[in-house]
Amino acid sequence: MSSLSVTDKLTILRSLSGIELEQTSESVWMPTSIEFEVGSELGVLWQPPESETRWRIAIEEAETIPLSFAVLLLIVASIAALLVIVWIEFLHLDRKRAHFETVMRQIARGRGTLPQGVVDSSGTLKELAYSFDSMSTHIQRLLKVQREMINAISHELRTPIARLRFGLEVLKDDVDDQLEQSISALEFDVEELNTLVDEVLTYGKLEEGTLALNFEKISIKQILDGIVDHNQALLQKLDVNVNVIGDDIVNADSHHLHRALQNLILNASKYANSSIAITFTEDTERWQVDIEDDGPGIPVEDRDKVFIPFQRLDNSRTRASGGYGLGLAIVQRIAFWHGGAVLVEESETLGGAKFSLIWSRSQHQNSLS
């Protein structure tokens, strides 16, 4: 620094931040002496050697935060950080709760078990995840045993049923008219038993997803007209109105769509007083068939029960009306494998029940193209 000129030193001082440099007339008892002033600034009095000019160098004292305020600020910041951490953890727990809720609904509908790597399966909800997984695995095992047992029994029943049908047919050739009527009644009972076995096997395959579906372009009007004509004996006392709105070509498995619609129409015929309305509509995303009747309808609290296998309602839907409680369950599974659903509500036009079979236009579209 001793090699620098006074001008260079002054230039350096002026370039420093927080330094105030000004000439002063205050006396300095010796050159380059330093005196500190009392106040908000530190004052340095400087007179270069061989110079009559005196300079006052003021160093601004930095503003300091009071200790109490600093402590308060630290406490507030800590609380805010803790609240943020708690909120983030709460959001994580809420997402895990929502995930568990979704999985539990799927298990309740019989659609699977807890997936591998379930959210927080090794964290705060580890025990809950393990308990749910054990429960769902046990339930699935029981359901599997039940399905296998029902399918096995149904398959085993086919052989004796066929023998009974054959035996009764042979007996009819060698009996009088009175016994022939009794044999015809037995044949009707055997046919009902055969129908039940067929429905059980069909529902089992639809539930497991092992039933092969062949999607193709078909005419919904042709299917509906065919069902009405084929079941004319059951529908002859009813006014059946079929209304097809728009293009009647749909993408579906012909056999199973025919079965689903026939189940819905025959179900309506059991409870209709005089009229059944069948309406087909379409839009850019889906196809829909509505089947309405003027019967007693279905109470709101019972509408979900009608799709449960072997479930029968306590009101008008009794064994006297026929059926085994599998028809609508089969319709629901067929709709599911068509990428759709079956809805039930009150008919606004006829006052009875209204079943809507809805399925997606995009389901299996790639296989056709």
Instruction: State the CATH number of the domain containing residue 225.
Output: 3.30.565.10
pLDDT bracket for residue 84 (50, 70, 90) = very high
Tally the C-alpha atoms within 13 A of residue 189's C-alpha that lie toward its C-beta. 8
Q: What's the rounded Cα separation, in Å, for the pair 265 and 73? A: 75
Q: What's the rounded Cα separation, in Å, for the pair 125 and 128? A: 5
Q: Determine contact, residues 341/333, Cβ cutoff 8 Å.
A: no
pLDDT bracket for residue 33 (50, 70, 90) = very low
Choose the final residue of a domain: 174, 206, 238: 206
Model confidence, pTM: 0.56
Q: Are residues 226 and 331 in the same domain?
A: yes
Q: Are residues 184 and 155 in the same domain?
A: yes
pLDDT bracket for residue 195 (50, 70, 90) = confident
Look at 193-202, 306-315, 318-327 and tell me which has the smallest mean pLDDT.
Answer: 318-327
Question: Tokens in use for 333?
Answer: 């599974």
Q: What's the rounded Cα separation, in Å, for the pair 282 and 263? A: 21
Q: What's the rounded Cα separation, in Å, for the pair 255 and 360? A: 17
Q: Which of 169, 227, 159, 167 is nearest to 193 (CA)?
A: 159
More confident: 318 or 347: 347
Q: Are residues 223 and 301 in the same domain?
A: yes
- The predicted pLDDT at position 359 comes to 92
Residue 349: inside a domain, yes or no?
Answer: yes
Q: Are residues 197 and 129 in the same domain?
A: yes
- The predicted pLDDT at position 113 comes to 54
Q: Are residues 157 and 194 in the same domain?
A: yes
Question: Average pLDDT of 12-18?
Answer: 76
Q: Are residues 219 and 347 in the same domain?
A: yes
Residue 52: inside a domain, yes or no?
Answer: yes
- The predicted pLDDT at position 211 comes to 67
How many CB atoms are located within 10 Å of the residue 199 CB? 21
Q: What's the rounded Cα separation, in Å, for the pair 75 and 361? A: 61
Q: Can you point out the beta strands (E) in the chain? A: 19-23, 41-46, 55-60, 215-219, 239-244, 249-253, 275-282, 286-293, 341-346, 353-360
Q: What's the rounded Cα separation, in Å, for the pair 61 and 63? A: 6
Computed on alpha carbons and rounded to an integer, the radius of gyration of the chain in Å comes to 44
- The predicted pLDDT at position 179 comes to 79
- The predicted pLDDT at position 41 comes to 54
Sheet holding 19-23, edge to edge: 19-23, 55-60, 41-46
Q: What's the rounded Cα separation, in Å, for the pair 202 and 258? A: 14
Choose the final residue of a domain: 147, 177, 206: 206
Torsions phi, psi of 63, nearest 5?
Answer: -75, 135
Residue 269, pLDDT above cutoff 60: yes
How many CB atoms are located within 10 Å of the residue 225 CB? 14
Look at 44-58, 95-109, 116-130 and tell me which has the smallest mean pLDDT.
Answer: 116-130
Residue 162: inside a domain, yes or no?
Answer: yes
Q: Are residues 46 and 142 in the same domain?
A: no
Runs of H (alpha helix) within 46-109: 67-108
Question: Tokens in use for 361?
Answer: 């236009």
Q: Are residues 129 and 189 in the same domain?
A: yes
CATH (domain of 174)? 1.10.287.130
Q: Are residues 177 and 202 in the same domain?
A: yes
Parallel, antiparallel, or unpaired for β 55-60 and 41-46? antiparallel
The domain of 265 spans 215-360
Q: Are residues 354 and 220 in the same domain?
A: yes
Instruction: Name the burial class of residue 338, with classes exposed (0-12), middle (13-18) and buried (19+) by CB atoms within 10 angstroms of its CB.
Output: buried
Residue 107: inside a domain, yes or no?
Answer: no
First to last CA, the chain: 89
20-34, 102-116, 296-310, 343-357 — most confident range: 343-357
Residue 342: inside a domain, yes or no?
Answer: yes
Q: Are residues 300 and 264 in the same domain?
A: yes
Q: What's the rounded Cα separation, in Å, for the pair 131 and 137? A: 10
pLDDT bracket for residue 225 (50, 70, 90) = very high
Residue 224: inside a domain, yes or no?
Answer: yes
Residue 203, pLDDT above cutoff 90: no
Residue 82: inside a domain, yes or no?
Answer: no
Residue 228: inside a domain, yes or no?
Answer: yes
Residue with tokens 């160093």: 59
Q: What's the rounded Cα separation, in Å, for the pair 322 and 345? A: 22
Choose the final residue of a domain: 21, 40, 59: 59
Residue 105, pLDDT above cutoff 90: no
pLDDT bracket for residue 369 (50, 70, 90) = very low
Q: Which of 251, 240, 224, 259 is nearest to 333 (CA)?
A: 259
Residue 32, pLDDT above cutoff 70: no
| Average pLDDT over the chain, rounded to an integer | 78
Q: Determine contact, residues 330/203, Cβ cutoff 8 Å.
A: yes
Domain count, the chain: 3
Q: Are residues 257 and 317 in the same domain?
A: yes
